[in-house]
Amino acid sequence: MLKEAFDDKIEELREEIKSYAASHTKIRVFKNGSEEEYVDFSPIAVNEKFFKPIQKPKDGIFIYSAEELETFYEKYREIVAEVNEYIGTFPTSISSFCKFIGITVDTLRGYKSTNDINLKRVIERIYEEIGDDNLFVAQLGKASERSTLFRLKSQNEMEEKKSPNVNVSIKALVNSSKYDEKIDKYKDLIDVK
């Protein structure tokens, strides 16, 4: 089965992630003298190192069943969780998931038009969870909200809900007689001629 075939590869990746974290750990010293350990990493380097295809296509392209896609997605999430635990914030993305399983984003989008209802459900779940993960990371301030929204619109095909246009017109008549009375009252006090 697919799951057993990739458990070894996933375990290898876990060890590589821990090794990378150990070799890139640095110490940050603050003005008050306190110190903090952190992993100095480049998200692009992490993407290239840990999210390369975990298998090579035999005939040039992969065609996955719903069960296979779901298995790969769970493995992908495990690797992202490992990266986040040991290295630093690395948000999930449709493109890194597709790269991980050896297909293009367009191929994954093409899967949406399949007649296989189970495959459609898995793909919808992938898109929803990755979108939710990215919004959560942006809300925590660990990623730019603007670039997160751009990514969600371009890769996840999400759209912002448009706010309805509301026009408010205020038409009121000023009751000037009330103000005229007050002005007359004060005219007598200041002796205006």
Q: How far is CA 63 from the centre of its chain?
A: 26
3-state secondary structure of 39: strand
Say whether pTM exceeds 0.75.
Answer: no
Distance CA 66, CA 118 (A): 6
pLDDT at 20: 94
Total domains present in the chain: 1
Distance CA 123, CA 73 (A): 10
Query: Residues 93-127: pLDDT tens digits?
Result: 999 999 999 888 998 998 888 889 999 999 999 99
Domain interval for residue 63: 2-154
Whether the per-residue pLDDT at 16 is higher than 90: the answer is yes
Q: What is the CATH number of the domain that holds 107?
A: 1.10.132
